[in-house]
A and B are shown apart, each in its own frame.
Chain A
């Protein structure tokens, strides 16, 4: 079982290994700087556990868990 972004603990960082979302979403994520080799840090989760706040490069964004589950993290 490989590691995915949604499984990272709050405060944990990882390096993206691949994206398995549908094409349009993959393009958008890549344009936002999330692609193979990018370093991401999970900062926290919203009060109901979803979505999650992540740090990419010099900025932060909010991503839902079901989409984060399609972002592979290098183990």
Chain B
């Protein structure tokens, strides 16, 4: 990339094809900038003009320059040169099918007094509405160059580049209506009206209207927002998305897992057994695996979100569902992020980027981890299978299925009051006006969708990934140290004894493997993590937990599904990873120091309820930190969820004991 000569800002309303135009002009020459606070990102790319490359900045789509949302605040900062160099020229994109409101924003942009070129997009949509905007006449009326383009077909881009080159060469400042741009004066009703009048005057001799029949887009809208058909379509679309996060990403996840395994073996096999090998295999490689495992889910979800947003359906889904969420102080925009969180909270939290209101977005982010994600399922199924008798209720409903259903409902039931309280006590910000544009339907743009997916995945790995890896390594180290030589010596002696006394090779191998597991279990029980578990166990006695259970819960801070493997190691379960029978047996046989069983139905229930509500997922917390801009919100999420999980766990334990299940 040759050094850019100057910076051009690309501005326009949302839903006018701005991103499509930006992608068409800059190709792959792009990078992303991030705005502190709630993440709003912007893009910078290189645009090749006839006279050489310039830097093109894609401003977030906005309706006005009077900063009401974080997006519009960023637009102002970028235009004033507070984030990088100030632009030397402006490329304004307007929607020919909705000229008046687009010219309102343009009047503000032109009042900035920068050399300006206007890209007149979506002329085809306008014509389908019986609206014709004459680019030449508009250029004459506005006094700036206007180029008719079709961004998705890459039509008119050459003419646009030439116009910009000439415009900058002349250096002629655009002249708008000359009304106030900043502060209270800009928001004065007379000023807003003045700008609309200016727009109407400018358009008077530019547009012609003709009567047309009902448009295809309107007919589609009538079905998709219909009381019955609309709801049915929404259920179908959401069902498909939900199913795909589970079903489509599973093969991809398996593939990635196999790849990490393969790569791990490649790195590990030449290494001698010992601490370095353990660090790499159980700390680093396991950590990398736990980052990559999220990528397919994020990719699949954002594939759908990008399509839904680009084609115009996203706004309709918010329209249809708004009522349900309004009572909680949220809106229909929270629907997709929360639904996605039932598969996994990580993509769900990333999906909150579609929510414009900061407080609403934060609330959605903070309750998203309460939805029972797929990582909780193995915890539920193992404990249910191990400790709950398969009795039938009303003769046909399996009690175990009922418990599983109750655990899923628990998250939702808790999320309702939490969301309500968060909204109530969160510091006041902009007025929560639920106002969303319902844009015309269009075919999604392939490049826009592809870019959204790759960008989201890359950003997750680069930003949240490092935190996830760090937590994985730290928790591994806590569970692996100290390493007393006496322990290893003792097991070495037992191995030698087996070597000498047992003749049959298979028996020898089995005994050796059993000793390995016993050694691992012993190592973990006397580790720092084990000591920590013993120290803080009094805190978890109200939940009926043995210190080893507490320790397994601590070990699962990186990811809740780890608790199963940890319990396997801690209780020295026999049988391989794939054999949950071995684990079940080990759990059922585990005894406290006084000889009573570690697990009763009451303990199993309290453990499941705890895991339904706790925040044992470093990835979720890393993403919350990243998306909210503060560690504080991640810490808050961890605290409130842990307190709730503890309280609910204790309640369930004591209720179960009272019912004679202790």
Contacts and interface: CB of A to CB of B under 8 A. Distances in A.
Interface string A47-59: 1111101000111
Contacts of B318: 62
Contacts of B189: 26, 30, 35
B435 A61 contact: yes
A47 B320 contact: yes
A62 B104 contact: no
Nearest to A23: B187
Contacts of B104: 31, 33
Contacts of B437: 59-62
B227 A47 contact: yes
A62 B221 CA distance: 13
Interface in A1-31: 21-31
A64 B436 CA distance: 10
A48 B221 CA distance: 17
Given A30-B192, A31-B66, A58-B129, A48 B434 contact: no
Contact of A27 (B100, B187, B196, B227): B187
Given A24-B68, A35-B196, A47-B231, A58 B131 contact: yes
B101 A62 contact: no
Contacts of B66: 27, 31
A69 interface: no
Interface residues of A, number: 31
A51 B434 contact: yes
A58 B97 contact: yes
Contacts of A32: 63, 101, 435
Contacts of B177: none
Interface in B420-445: 430-431, 433-439
B98 interface: yes
A31 B188 CA distance: 11
A64 B189 CA distance: 22
Contact of B322 (A35, A44, A62): A62
A33 to B, nearest CB: 5
A25 B192 contact: no
Contacts of B63: 28, 31-32
Interface string B25-48: 000000000000000000000000
B434 A46 contact: no
Contacts of B101: 32-33, 57-59
A46 B100 contact: no
Contacts of A33: 100-101, 104, 196
Contact of B438 (A31, A57, A60): A60
B508 to A, nearest CB: 69
A46 B317 CA distance: 10
A22 B63 CA distance: 19
A18 to B, nearest CB: 10
A13 to B, nearest CB: 16
B322 A25 contact: no
B602 to A, nearest CB: 41
B195 to A, nearest CB: 9
A58 B431 contact: no
Given A35-B189, A57-B98, A59-B98, A24 B323 contact: no
Nearest to A35: B193
B435 A50 contact: no
A51 B433 contact: no
Contact of A28 (B100, B222, B225, B433): B433
A61 B193 contact: no
Given A22-B431, A24-B68, A31-B104, A46 B192 contact: no
Contact of B192 (A22, A23, A35, A58): A35
A21 B433 contact: yes
A20 B434 CA distance: 16
A2 to B, nearest CB: 20
Contacts of A28: 63, 68, 433, 435
A64 B326 contact: yes
B617 to A, nearest CB: 33
B633 interface: no
B431 A46 contact: no
B319 interface: yes
A46 B430 contact: no
A31 B434 CA distance: 15
Nearest to B438: A60
A64 B431 contact: no
Given A24-B430, A25-B431, A51 B100 contact: no
Most interface-central of B63, B131, B228, B324 (chain A CB within 10 A): B63
A33 B438 CA distance: 15
Nearest to B96: A58
B334 interface: no
A57 B102 CA distance: 11
A46 B322 contact: yes
A25 B193 CA distance: 15
A62 B225 CA distance: 11
A46 B435 contact: no
B341 interface: no
A50 B323 contact: yes
B68 A46 contact: no
Contacts of A60: 221, 437-439
27 contacts: A22-B431, A23-B187, A25-B431, A25-B433, A26-B189, A29-B433, A30-B189, A30-B192, A30-B193, A32-B435, A33-B101, A35-B189, A35-B192, A44-B222, A46-B320, A47-B227, A47-B228, A47-B323, A51-B322, A58-B129, A58-B131, A59-B98, A59-B101, A59-B439, A62-B319, A64-B322, A67-B433
Interface of A: 21-33, 35, 44, 46-51, 53, 57-64, 67
Given A31-B66, A31-B192, 14 more contacts: A21-B433, A24-B433, A25-B433, A27-B187, A29-B435, A32-B101, A33-B101, A35-B196, A46-B320, A51-B319, A58-B99, A58-B101, A62-B319, A67-B434
A-B CB proximity, top 4 nearest: A48-B323, A60-B438, A25-B433, A58-B98
